[in-house]
Amino acid sequence: MSSVRHLVYSRWLFHHAKPLSVNTSRLFSTTRSSMTIMPAWVIDKYGSNDVFRFTKNASFPVINYPNEVIVKVQAAGLNPLDVNMRSGYGAATMSMKRDPLNIKQSGSEFPLILGRDVSGVIMECGLDVKYFRERDEVWAAIPPWKQGSLAEFVVLSANEVSHKPKSLSHTEAAAMPYVATTAWSALVNTGGLSKDNCAKKRILILGGSGGVGTFAIQMLKAWGAHVTVTCSQNAERFVRGLGADHVVDYTAGPVEEPLSALEKFDLILDNIGGDTERWALNLLKPWCGAKYVTLVTPFLQNTDRLGIADGMMQTAATVATKALKHLVKGVHYRWGFFAPSGPALDEIRELVDAGKIRPVVEETFSFSEVPQAFEKVEKGHARGKTVVQISKGGEDV
pTM across the whole model: 0.86
pLDDT of residue 301: 74
Q: Which long-range contacts (CB under 8 A, 24 or more apart) does 167-171 make?
A: 167/352, 167/353, 167/355, 168/119, 168/352, 168/359, 169/395, 170/74, 170/75, 170/119, 170/120, 170/137, 170/389, 170/394, 170/395, 170/397, 171/74, 171/75, 171/119, 171/361, 171/364, 171/387, 171/389, 171/395
The DSSP secondary structure of 218-248, one letter per residue, reads HHHHHTT-EEEEEE-GGGHHHHHHTT-SEEE
pLDDT of residue 300: 67
Full pLDDT tens readout for the chain, 397 residues: 444 444 444 444 444 444 434 343 334 433 333 469 999 999 999 999 999 999 999 999 999 999 999 999 999 999 999 999 999 988 887 887 877 766 776 668 899 999 999 999 999 999 999 999 999 999 999 999 999 999 999 999 999 999 999 999 999 999 999 999 999 999 999 999 999 999 989 999 999 998 999 999 999 999 999 999 999 999 999 999 999 999 999 999 899 999 999 999 999 999 999 889 999 999 999 999 999 999 988 766 767 676 777 777 887 787 788 777 777 788 899 989 899 999 999 999 999 999 999 999 999 999 999 999 999 999 987 788 999 999 864 443 3
Question: For residue 284, what are the β-bridge partners?
Answer: 265
C-alpha 128 chain-centroid distance: 26
Tell how strand 52-59 and strand 117-125 pair up: unpaired
pLDDT of residue 236: 95
Q: Which of 230, 219, 138 is nearest to 186 (CA)?
A: 219
Give the chain's domains with CATH numbers: 3-176+360-394 (3.90.180.10), 179-335 (3.40.50.720)
pLDDT in tens, 29-38: 333 334 699 9
pLDDT of residue 2: 44
pLDDT of residue 302: 62
pLDDT of residue 27: 41
Q: Distance from first CA to last CA of the chain, Å, rounded?
A: 30
Confirm if 178 and 377 have CB atoms less than 8 A apart: no
Q: Which of 117, 178, 80, 151 is nearest to 387 (CA)?
A: 117
pLDDT in tens, 296-347: 887 667 676 767 777 778 877 877 887 777 777 888 999 898 999 999 999 9
